[in-house]
Amino acid sequence: MKYIDKLRNSGLRPTKQRLQICEVLFNTERTFHFTINELEQKIKDKIDNKISLATIYNTVHAFEKKGYLKQIPVNSNQTYFDTNITDHHHFYNLKDGKLIDLENSDVGPINIKRKIDGKKIKSIEVLVKLED
Amino acid sequence: MKYIDKLRNSGLRPTKQRLQICEVLFNTERTFHFTINELEQKIKDKIDNKISLATIYNTVHAFEKKGYLKQIPVNSNQTYFDTNITDHHHFYNLKDGKLIDLENSDVGPINIKRKIDGKKIKSIEVLVKLED
DNA sequence: TTATAGTTTATAATGGTTCTAAATAGCTGT
DNA sequence: ACAGCTATTTAGAACCATTATAAACTATAA
């Protein structure tokens, strides 16, 4: 299995549940955005056995900590994640709550001129809100 | 009172509670960021009578809809608001969850090269996450 | 195989936010 | 000033995403 090493290498035991979640998240043509509820549904559709909601939360957080997923900063009652972990930005369609990737080249370089003592920049994220 | 007209002009009745919340939010030297809980505390400190939590939520949402407050897109369990409604961006200190304003001039112009059919850009917000 | 630490699970608990419905208070026309 | 109407406030309940709990299970290394 191709995800076993990935998990082992990052100190996560390759359990059946994690491997199945890897299939759903990473064995895809394209990257995608999701909330936990959407992921839960996707898992139900693609997997025979049940994976508990707690495990889905645990796994998503574990994967995010390891850098296999990114959280997207949006104002919503649910947390949005992205399987696209490259440096990029988002359109946010206010009407339906859907996200669209914006390649870095679609935004151009962002140069933060101000520095904060003793802190370093972990990420720079641009959110472009869309309305009709 | 200086806030009575502001409220009337935007179709909001100038009630005692709203005027008091205006004082806390807008009668300040500097703009500031807050969560509802922090605002509730500030109100308790500055106002004699009690304002119910539901009213605080109602008022903040009413003010946001009228454009007197802005929501800041951050991943947190609480919603962050800003009394600075000018076009600007934020540092987000992951350690303590505090925000710092980034003037537009500190970030430089952002040029979104991609367009989405039938949609127009409502806002462009940059979040710069800080770590130690 | 066995011991151990890591993982999964159902379920309960938490906590921010929204809803409800009754009481109160602005507002408009008279 | 008053009546009537609608907006607003309020306490408390409800909601719902997320996190905690603690017991059962499992991967792993010796």
Residue type present at position A113: K
Band the pLDDT of A37: cuts 50, 70, 90: very high
Regarding whether B69 and B94 lie in a shared domain, the answer is no
The SS3 of residue A10 is coil
What does the pLDDT read at residue B1? 64
Say yes or no: B13 and B37 in one domain: yes
What percent of chain B stands above pLDDT 90?
Answer: 92
Choose one of A64, A80, A96: the last residue of a domain: A80
**B62 pLDDT tier (thresholds 50, 70, 90):** very high
Dump pLDDT digits (tens) for B100-124.
999 988 998 899 999 999 999 999 9
pLDDT at B108: 87
A120 touches chain B (CB under 8 A): yes
On whether both B9 and B73 belong to a single domain, the answer is: yes
> Residue B70 is part of which domain span?
2-80
pLDDT digits (tens, 9 = 90+) for A39-84: 999 999 999 999 999 999 999 999 999 999 999 999 999 999 999 9
Domain end marker among A40, A56, A80: A80
Residue B79 has pLDDT above 90, yes or no: yes
Q: Domain of A19: which CATH number?
A: 1.10.10.10
Residue A1 has pLDDT above 80, yes or no: no
Q: What span, in angstroms and rounded, lies between the C-alpha atoms of B72 and B50?
A: 27
Question: Is the domain of B62 the same as that of B15?
Answer: yes
Are B44 and B69 members of one domain?
yes
Question: B45 CA to C28 C1', in Å?
Answer: 36
| A110 and A64 part of one domain | no
Q: Report d(CA A129, CA A126) in Å as an integer.
A: 10
Are residues A72 and A89 located together in one domain of the fold?
Answer: no
Do A74 and A92 sit in the same domain of this protein?
Answer: no
Put simply, whether A32 touches B (Cβ < 8 Å) is: no
| pLDDT (mean) for A98-114 | 93
One domain, residues B66 and B109: no
The span from the CA of B26 to the CA of A3, in Å, is 54
Whether A7 and A51 share a structural domain: yes
User: Which is nearest to B113 in space by CA: A1, A99, A109?
Assistant: A109
Tally of structural domains, chain B: 2
> Which residues does chain A have within 8 Å of residue B127's beta carbon, measured at their own beta carbons?
73, 124-127
Are residues A76 and A89 located together in one domain of the fold? no
Looking at the fold, whether A26 and A69 belong to one and the same domain comes out as yes
Query: What tens digit of pLDDT does each residue of B82-105 get?
Result: 999 999 999 999 988 999 999 988
pLDDT, position A2? 86
> pLDDT tens digits for B13-36?
999 999 999 999 999 999 999 999
C-beta within 7 A of nucleic chain C, residues 1-40 of A: 12-13, 15-18
Contact B73, B26 (CB under 8 A): no
Q: What would the two tokens of residue B27 be?
A: 């009668």
Q: What is the DSSP string of B52-65?
A: -HHHHHHHHHHHHH
Task: Answer whether residue B75 shows pLDDT above 80.
Answer: yes
> Quick check: helix, strand or coil at residue B121?
strand
**Pick from A111, A114, A132: CB nearest B118:** A132
